[in-house]
Amino acid sequence: MRQEIGPAECCKWLFCLICFIVITCLAIWVFVGVDDPKSSIQSLYLPTLNKTSLDSTTPTTNNTLFFELKLSNSNDHRGIYYGGVELTFYDNPISTRSHVIGNYTIPQFYQGYNKKATKRGAVEVNTTLVSQAFNLLPKRIRGFSSRNGNDNQVQDQGAFQE
């Protein structure tokens, strides 16, 4: 004897199957295709190290580090809520004897999908540590280099000349 399935029982099974498929698709969409945001420092400026300013006779006592951070969200259908981005600036982040020269927290914000955000900030830094780290660099790295058309020798023409 064969038991027949009624329309109510069939609808119940069909509803469960549709719910299972929808939940599975949502889980795949949420957990599989998420890309991490990309970030980069676009510019840094520390007036204390600018030895080619117009008024070079008066030493600069401004110990503020100005920076510009670029954040890129490459997700197609997901925005990102940043709960506060903490930045720590070091004199030499590669070394095991590095020193923190400043900290800054970017306030919380929302970044839409496929959007780029630029955040600017300024942080007071320990200029003694910065100057010590800067003086350890070779002069060629500290400045910008360009070729001289006359004798093809590299000259330092950077903002940080000694």
Per-residue pLDDT of the chain (162 residues; tens, 9 = 90+): 567 777 778 888 899 999 999 999 888 877 777 788 899 999 988 887 777 765 555 556 778 889 999 999 988 878 889 998 899 888 776 777 788 888 999 999 999 988 999 999 999 988 777 777 666 655 544 443 333 333 333 333 333 333
Under a CB-based contact definition with an 8 Å cutoff, are residues 80 and 101 in contact? no
SS3 content of the chain, % helix, strand, coil (to 5): 25, 30, 45
Model-level pTM?
A: 0.60
Neighbouring C-beta atoms of residue 121, cutoff 10 Å: 15
Q: How far is CA 66 from CA 45, 55, 89, 143, in A?
A: 5, 20, 11, 18
CATH topology of domain 38-145: Immunoglobulin-like (2.60.40)
**Which residues have C-beta within 8 Å of that of residue 119, sequence separation ≥ 6?**
68, 69, 71, 85, 106, 109
